[in-house]
Homo-oligomer: A and B are copies of this chain.
Amino acid sequence: MSSFDNLKSIGLKATLPRLKILTLFEESKKRHLTAEEVYKTLTDEGLEIGLATIYRVLTQFEQAGLLIRHNFDQGKGTFELTSSQHHDHLVCTKCGHVEEFFDNEIEKRQTDIANKLGFEITDHSLNLYGECKNPAECKNNK
């Protein structure tokens, strides 16, 4: 499905800002972006777009299930395309590089624990913070 149809299917008009933002997430090497990063990238490409629009669109995309919001850092949201497969994250505190992983056993135990404690889980976030062991790769992904 094209980005254009993608927008229509969630009931949003296919405007230039929305198309550009969605395409950025689909084609960027960096899968995890903050509002500020989206703004800077698009502005650098010569697109005239307001930061307020970025925030509005990111929120709409999140509500439509197109994007997921993470709170890797204090006081700053990071977004990524919702992928078919849920996953958790390793975040390098040196260079900001984000790696993804999935572990079925961890998922299962989370559910068990929530059940035992009388919670109905709607969501969860598991982030491992540390340092890439490879300094070269660390730099490249900054």
Binding site for B on A (CB under 8 A): 69, 71, 73-77, 90, 92-93, 99, 101, 103, 105-106, 109-110, 113-114, 117-134
Contacts and interface: CB of A to CB of B under 8 A. Distances in A.
A126 B89 CA distance: 11
Given A103-B109, A113-B103, A124 B122 contact: no
A133 B109 contact: no
Contacts of A127: 124-126
Instruction: State how many copies of this chain the complex holds.
Output: 2
B124 A126 contact: yes
B113 A105 contact: no
A64 B61 CA distance: 40
Contact of A128 (B71, B77, B113, B128): B113
Contacts of A73: 71
27 contacts: A71-B74, A74-B75, A74-B77, A75-B75, A75-B77, A93-B123, A99-B119, A101-B113, A105-B109, A106-B106, A106-B109, A106-B110, A110-B126, A114-B128, A114-B130, A118-B134, A119-B130, A119-B132, A119-B133, A122-B130, A123-B129, A124-B126, A124-B127, A124-B129, A125-B129, A126-B126, A126-B127
A126 B129 contact: no
